[in-house]
Chain A
């Protein structure tokens, strides 16, 4: 079972920041927070990951609370192409034998024109 809790759906106006929350209250000290998304008819796409510090890349920012029990993915200027299902995932480092991704239900983000 997924170790994260996400709202089933969210709307965001085009051009605005989309803030997607995720709860992972049982996260272990060595588990990373990953975000993937799946745009319709495509395979899942990696977005960003983090351990405890906030992270930013060309796609998004990841804000992790100090107690690491929740995080927020921020798409700073959402476009229609960001409409997708967003998955928040906690995973152990690859040195562990458990290497699979457990996707959960995710958040269906609708970007409104």
Chain B
């Protein structure tokens, strides 16, 4: 079974540009999560999809960030326009659903975003 995949692995852009990160969850996983770690800080939750619906977007830092999950499969996270403080590693995770007692989240390798 393939794990969570993320693309690209690295992205270097200039301030003011737009970047789109993609996450492909494990097949059949209804839940998809975005997290990020900015330099020197803890990993922080951004948002949670259940299928194509946003269940919780309380961690989205501002309206420059837009996440979508059309069709309930892969998800994209767009940053427009990017700012210097957006630099960090963006992780995606997926989990099967809420019928289980533990709801283990499987993480992708992350996308390292550098804004110059």
Which A residues form the contact surface with B (CB < 8 A)?
2, 32, 34, 38, 41-46, 49, 93-95, 97-105
Chain B residues bordering chain A, tally (CB within 8 A): 28
Stretch among B62-70, B73-81, B100-108 lining the A interface = B100-108
- Contact assessment for A43 and B91 in the assembled complex, using a CB-CB cutoff below 8 Å: yes
Chain A contact surface mostly: loop
Which B residues form the contact surface with A (CB < 8 A)?
4, 31, 33, 35, 42-45, 48, 55-56, 59, 91, 93, 95, 97-98, 100-110
The one of A34, A44, A98, A102 in contact with B107, judged by C-beta atoms closer than 8 angstroms, is A44
- CA distance in complex: A38, B43 (Å): 10
Given the known inter-chain contacts A100-B59, A101-B45, A103-B42, please indicate yes or no for A42 contacting B109, CB distance below 8 A.
Answer: yes
Instruction: Give the chain B neighbours of A93 by CB distance below 8 A.
Output: 101, 103
